[in-house]
């Protein structure tokens, strides 16, 4: 069974076509600069195909995606009918969606209704859904939400200590993101540790451009570091994470900027980029730190210190910890950051083997044999989770 996975952003659209009999990727690609000019990067076993093509909107972009999949030279299918379903990444499901769903008119309206909570993400996700419906009207479409995995959090974890009326009126609370990634790596961890998920207390660390940690107790999310929006929690590439909320008003008054400008500052010019003034990319930061750039050193220190602090917090919240899982761009590749984070956690029983920690590209337990708390590195695969959920829903 072939399933197409779509991740539609405002000016980009990522896709993967998966053969679910072997869970292998037949083709994947990226359409960039939608609404500007348009560029396609399409990859298959046969190689990479790059083309500048007009992409005035998501409808035209989806037509290009389907043409590429059907193309005589770099295509992988002979007919659109081979695509049995489409799985869409949808960022925010609010409190409405606790699991993936088959998209109906009512579901579309409900996704629209929670768009207030993710004004930059949900509208383009919906545009992607509509573009697929336009080109494949009889193919089932499934929505997979970044927030759904975290809907198991108890109220003590998701309530903010603000007037309860604001929660009731506007649904202001912690939702959490990266749910597909946290779910995937926590399930892989149970397999690697050869123990039932129900018996495990895990902290999954998704360290990419966006950064979030999740406390997974007995296979379910009981707490996570991102909040109502992806701005809360750890220091990220360009996002500030936790700060004193009073800082926002203070900056607005001192710098004479609007609420919107303050939001942009905290989302786009903060995090490790803000501290270092160098880059949001950890490879650039490491290179600058090596050359003695003190702000780059400080950015890396702040990043690792906060991640370690959150791991400790979640160990306390779960009253135990069996394993820490690192995933995503930084988590999978940056051995130095992993080492730095783990150096805070030796008293918990973390003991990383430096040689194993140096390996890359595979799921691995990098701990020494007797370490009480295991440290695992697991490459994430959000597209596979979306395709699996889509397949499951189709089977119902
Ligand atoms: P996204 O959240 O956009 O999916 P990724 O998970 O791809 O992000 O992570 C991107 C980040 O991973 C980059 O900004 C970079 O900081 C980091 N990264 C990628 N490769 C390496 C590497 N080899 N060493 C250190 N950091 C890396």
Ligand 1 centroid to residue 187 C-alpha, Å: 22
Going from the Cα of 380 to the center of ligand 1, the distance in angstroms, rounded, reads 12
> Separation of 235 CA from ligand 1 center, angstroms?
14
Q: Within the chain, which residues score under 50 in pLDDT?
A: none
The 10s digit of each residue's pLDDT in 74-114 is 999 999 999 999 999 999 999 999 999 999 999 999 999 99
**Where do the H-state alpha helices sit in 21-136?**
58-70, 105-113, 122-135
CB burial class (10 A; 0-12, 13-18, 19+) of residue 22?
exposed
Euclidean distance between CA atoms 184 and 97, whole angstroms: 18
Q: What is the pLDDT of residues 357-389, one digit of tens each?
A: 988 878 999 999 999 999 999 999 999 999 999
CA 357 to chain centre: 23
Annotated active-site positions, please?
Answer: 146
Q: Which mutation among 330, 331, 339, 382 tests ligand 1's pocket best, with the greatest number of atoms within 8 A of CB?
A: 330
Q: Please, are residues 141 and 133 in contact by the beta-carbon 8 Å criterion?
A: yes
Sheet of 374-377: strands edge to edge? 220-224, 211-217, 201-207, 323-327, 374-377, 364-365
pLDDT in the model for residue 17: 98
Say which residues have a Cβ less than 8 Å from residue 363's Cβ, sequence separation at least 6: 188, 192, 376, 377, 378, 379
Q: What is the pLDDT of residues 14-42, one digit of tens each?
A: 999 999 999 999 999 999 999 999 999 99
What does 212-281 look like in DSSP terms, one character per residue?
EEEEEETTEEEEES--SSTTSSS--SS---S--THHHHHHHHHHT--HHHHHHHHHHS-HHHHHHSS-S-
Please give the number of the atom of ligand 1 that sits closest to the Cα of 206.
6
Query: Around 47, how many Cα atoms within 13 Å sit in the side-chain half-sphere?
Result: 4
In whole angstroms, give the CA distance from residue 211 to residue 237: 8
For 58-79, give the DSSP string.
HHHHHHHHHHHHH-TTT---S-
Q: Whose CA is nearest to atom 27 of ligand 1?
A: 330
Report how far residue 131's alpha carbon sits from residue 262's, in angstroms, rounded to the nearest whole number: 34
Kindly give the number of the ligand 1 atom that is closest to the alpha carbon of 210: 2
- Pick from 282, 326, 337, 338 the residue to mutate for probing ligand 1's pocket: most ligand atoms within 8 Å of its CB: 282
Q: Which residues line ligand 1 (CB under 6 A)?
A: 208-210, 237, 280-283, 328-330, 333-334
Is the overall model pTM greater than 0.85, yes or no?
yes
Ligand 1: centre distance to CA 208 (Å): 5
Task: Please give the number of the atom of ligand 1 that sits closest to the Cα of 237.
Answer: 14
CA of 139 to the centre of ligand 1 (A): 34
- Indicate the helix (H) or strand (E) that contains 326: strand 323-327
The pLDDT, as a whole number, for residue 10 is 86
With 0-12 CB in 10 A as exposed, 13-18 as middle and 19+ as buried, what is 336? Answer: middle
């Amino acid at each position: 069974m072939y399933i197409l996975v779509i991740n539609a952003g405002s000016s980009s659209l990522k896709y993967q076509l998966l053969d679910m009999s072997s869970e292998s990727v037949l083709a994947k690609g990226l359409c960039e600069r939608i609404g500007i000019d348009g560029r396609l990067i399409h990859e298959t076993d046969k190689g990479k195909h790059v083309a500048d093509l007009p992409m005035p909107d998501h409808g035209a972009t989806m037509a290009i995606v389907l043409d590429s999949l059907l193309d005589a030279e770099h295509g992988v299918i002979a007919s659109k009918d081979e695509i049995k379903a489409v799985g869409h990444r949808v960022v925010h499901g609010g409190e409405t969606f606790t699991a993936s769903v088959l998209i109906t008119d009512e579901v579309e309206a409900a996704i629209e209704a929670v768009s207030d909570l993710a004004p930059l993400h949900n509208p383009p996700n919906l545009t992607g859904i509509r573009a697929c419906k336009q080109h494949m009207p009889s193919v089932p479409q499934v929505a997979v939400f970044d927030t759904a995995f975290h809907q198991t959090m108890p109220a003590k974890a998701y309530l903010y200590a603000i007037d309860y009326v604001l929660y009731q009126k506007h649904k202001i609370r912690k939702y959490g993101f990266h749910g597909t990634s946290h779910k995937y790596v926590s399930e892989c961890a149970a397999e690697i540790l050869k123990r039932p998920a129900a018996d495990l207390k895990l902290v999954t660390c998704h360290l990419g451009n966006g950064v979030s940690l999740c406390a997974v107790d007995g296979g379910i999310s009981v707490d996570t570091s991102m909040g109502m929006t992806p701005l809360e929690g750890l220091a990220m590439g360009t996002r500030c994470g936790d700060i004193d909320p009073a800082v926002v008003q203070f900056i607005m008054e001192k710098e004479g900027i609007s609420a919107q400008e303050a939001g942009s500052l905290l989302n786009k010019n903060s995090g490790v980029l803000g501290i270092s003034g160098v880059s949001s990319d950890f490879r650039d930061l490491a290179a600058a730190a090596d050359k003695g750039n003190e702000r780059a050193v400080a950015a890396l220190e702040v990043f690792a210190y906060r991640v370690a602090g959150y791991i400790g917090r979640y160990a306390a919240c779960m009253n135990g910890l069996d394993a820490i899982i690192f995933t995503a761009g930084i988590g999978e590749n940056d051995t130095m950051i992993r080492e730095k984070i783990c150096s805070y956690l030796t008293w918990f029983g973390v003991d990383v083997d430096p040689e194993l920690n140096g390996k890359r590209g595979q799921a691995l337990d990098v701990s020494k044999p007797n370490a009480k708390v295991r440290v695992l590195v697991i490459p994430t695969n959000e597209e596979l989770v979306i395709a699996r959920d889509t397949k499951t829903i189709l089977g119902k």
